[in-house]
Amino acid sequence: MDTNAYLERIGYHGRIQPNREALRGLHRKHLLSIPFENLDIHLGRPIILSEKAFYDKIITQHRGGFCYDLNGLFATLLDELGFKVSMLSARVARKGRGFSPDFDHMTLLVQLEHPWLVDVGFGDSFTEPKRLDMPGPQADRGKQYRFTRTDGWTLLSRRPKGNGVWEPNTCSACGRESWRISSLDAAGNKPPQDRTSRKAAYALASLPTED
């Protein structure tokens, strides 16, 4: 992977060190530069789970992607820059109640002086990493986020500032065995390939702004 091309793609020109400041800068620049999108499914193109395919799509073609593409490639970048990063299975909160199946979403765990949840592949989420061992709320773009433990999963909830209602967002398998992209097919866990899946009900491309 051409690390310099990746950093140029996201417009990151800060220091390259495996620390909290660099992680925050990389995470924010990534979200502001690379869209969350599911267009390949609607174009009838196969979803290929490989770092090479992710790089070609996102860096060479200047495309976006969904969680496997975006978090998968970002994990590779962080690893090459010296961060200790793990891929985690995650589940997404459904409207009403309950969560989607295991491996429906991918998040990242980065271990620095404290553990941090990283997610550049959700579409509508936090812009900077969130510290997993912080018990209180963490502010981000007009919202608050917090972590709680439920049934062996780490639940991320959020609420608008000033609103007392916490809404579940995602559950991540923190503390469980991490996995790699290459292990997904072997485990029978594959991304959506057609429009019948929840992630592909309609064509979507989104990119947050500085505002």
The closest alpha carbon to 128, from 55, 20, 7, belongs to 20
Q: How far is CA 98 from CA 12, 190, 193, 199, 200, in A?
A: 38, 21, 23, 16, 20
DSSP helix/strand/coil, 24: helix
The closest alpha carbon to 37, from 10, 61, 69, 11, belongs to 69
119 is catalytic: yes
Q: Which of 40, 67, 171, 174 is catalytic?
A: 67
42 is catalytic: no
Instruction: Evaluate whether 49 touches 67 at the Cβ level (below 8 Å).
Output: no
Q: How many Å is the Cα radius of gyration of the chain?
A: 16
Q: Which of 40, 69, 104, 119 is catalytic?
A: 119
Q: Which of 27, 40, 104, 105 is catalytic?
A: 105
Active site amino acids: 67, 105, 119
